[in-house]
């Protein structure tokens, strides 16, 4: 190998090393997993989550009817999906006492999806006045954007 070739190779190695050092100091976050994140931002903040919401409507008996009907809706208001693999519990309470519950372990809910059901509560199981509450994900099984809207409550009177 000639002297000139050794000098050219040495200059090229030095130039490549200088470029690599300059690039890495100017782009410090690039090699630290921040390519998709903004500096100072937690990676978990980028995960889209569902937002389960519970709503209810109480229909009091009329005429010969003896049951109070509680219509409940569970909706996903968030940008993320409920995958259908994580079970979550929902329940209806009358004056703080659970009168109905179910564990849903199969429903996949995309953003904007909802489902509703009606549960009839016999008159003999309810006092003349009180509160009916419907709560979704009562055991906090689903990681959500907002847990503040997981329940709804209303007064009733016979």
122-157 pLDDT tens trace? 888 788 899 999 999 999 999 998 999 999 999 999
Provide the 3-class DSSP secondary structure of residue 18.
helix
Sheet holding 67-76, edge to edge: 52-59, 67-76, 114-122
* pTM over cut 0.75: no
46-73 pLDDT tens trace? 689 999 999 999 999 888 888 999 999 9
Residue found by looking up tokens 């409550």 in the block: 153
Query: Domain 48-157 falls in which CATH fold?
Result: Immunoglobulin-like (2.60.40)
What does the domain layout of the chain look like in residue ranges?
A: 3-44, 48-157
Residue 91: its H or E element: strand 88-94
Residue 57 and residue 116 in contact, taking contact as beta carbons nearer than 8 Å: no
Contacts of 74 (CB under 8 A, 6+ apart): 52, 53, 54, 90, 109, 114, 115, 116, 136
């Amino acid at each position: 190998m000639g002297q000139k070739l050794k000098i050219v190779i040495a200059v090229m190695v030095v130039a490549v090393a200088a470029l690599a050092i300059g690039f890495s100091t100017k782009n410090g976050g690039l090699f630290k997993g921040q390519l998709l994140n903004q500096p100072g931002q937690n990676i978990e903040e980028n995960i889209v989550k569902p937002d389960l919401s519970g709503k209810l409507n109480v229909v009091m008996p009329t005429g010969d009817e003896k049951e109070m009907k509680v219509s409940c809706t569970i909706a996903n208001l968030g940008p993320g999906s409920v995958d259908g693999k994580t079970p979550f519990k929902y329940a209806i309470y009358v004056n703080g006492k659970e009168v109905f519950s179910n564990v849903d372990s199969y429903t996949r809910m995309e953003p904007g999806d909802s489902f509703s059901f009606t549960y009839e509560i016999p008159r003999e199981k309810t006092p003349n006045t009180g509160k009916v509450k419907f709560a979704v994900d009562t055991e906090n099984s689903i990681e959500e954007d907002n847990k503040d809207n997981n329940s709804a409550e209303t007064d009733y009177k016979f």
